[in-house]
Amino acid sequence: MARIIGNLKPEDDYTHACDDSPDFSESMGFNFSDRRSSLCGSLRLHNWPNRGHAELTLTLCLENGRLLTACEQAPIRDNAAFDAAGCRFEVIHPGQRLRSYYAGSTQPFGGLRLMSRASKLLRGWPRRKIALDLLHDAVGPMFAKASPCADASDSRIGYKQRTHVSGTLRIGERERTIEGSGLREHSWGVGQHDGSKPWDRLLPSACLTAVRSGSWKLSPR
C-alpha cells in the first residue's frame, strides 16, 4: 500500500457519510497523459447528495489537436458511490489501485473563454460516442491537503496522489491503449470545493497551456 502523509486512512478512498447540509458534497477526479502520444484528459464526478444530483466533467485532448468534453448532471439518491451520468469509480485496493469508467458521448470543446456560452455555440454539433476504462495505480503517497478556504464554515478535507495510468479509450469504432502518468484527487465536506473549474485543476499542465493559448482546435468534425 502507498505511504500516507497526513490525517488519512486507505478507506478514505470510499465515499463518506454526509450531514443534512445542502452544501455537503464529495468529489473525485482523475487525469491522465499517455506517454506515447499527446493524448491526455481528465474525468471528474461531483456528488451533491442532499441536492439529489451529481455533476460529471470529462475533457479529452486528442492527438490531432481537438478537444472533446462532456458536462452532465444526473440524479443520485445518496452518497453511497461515485456512479452517475455514465461514469463510475471503483476502489480495487484502497490507497493503491482504483478504476474509472465512462461510457457516453462528447462534444467539441471551445476553450475557456467560450464556456459561458458553450451550450448555445455547440447546439446541433455532432456528439461522439466514447468509452473510457482506466486503472490508476499509486506511484506516490496520498497527500492530505488543507481546506482551500480559511473560512471557519469550510470543513472540506481531501488528498491527492500521483498515479500510473493504463487502459483503453474508444472513440466511435476506434480503440486505443493508454499508458502513462496521472494525478487523482478526492475531497468531501461542507464549503468550498475543487470542482468549480475542473479543467484548471485536473488537466495536465501541458494540455492546459495549449487550451489557454488557443492552439487546440474548435471543429464540429
* Residues in the chain, overall count: 221
- Give pLDDT, residue 125: 54
Backbone angles phi, psi at 79, to 5 degrees: -110, 30
Q: Domain 4-213 belongs to what topology?
A: AttH-like fold (2.40.370)
Q: How far is residue 22 from each of residues 18, 55, 156, 161, 205, measured CA to CA in Å?
A: 10, 15, 14, 28, 33
In the chain, where are the structural domains located? Answer: 4-213
Q: What is the pLDDT of residue 38?
A: 85
3-state secondary structure the chain: CCCEECCCCHHHHCCCCCCCCCCEEEEEEEEEEECCCCCEEEEEEEEECCCCEEEEEEEEECCCCEEEEEEEEEECCCCCCCEECCEEEEEEECCCEEEEEEEEEEEECCCHHHHHHHHHHCCCCCCEEEEEEEEEEECCCEEEECCCCCCCCCCCEEEEEEEEEEEEEEECCEEEEEEEEEEEEEEEEECCCCCCCHHHHHCCHHHHHHHHHCCCECCCC
> What is the grid cell recorded at 123?
447546439
Residue 199, C-alpha cell as written in the block:
479543467
Query: Which pLDDT score, from 0 to 100, does residue 139 have?
Result: 97
The residue written with cell numbers 492530505 in the block is 144
Q: What burial letters (b/e) apply to 187-197, b meaning 16+ CB within 10 Å?
A: bbbbbbbbbee
What is the block-wise mean pLDDT of the chain (221 residues), using blocks of 10 residues?
A: 90 94 95 92 96 94 84 95 97 98 82 45 66 97 70 72 97 94 95 48 45 43 41
What is the pLDDT, as a whole number, of residue 221? 41
Q: How far apart are CA 197 and CA 27, in angstroms?
A: 13
Task: Say if CB 60 and CB 49 are below 8 A apart.
Answer: no
pTM as predicted: 0.80
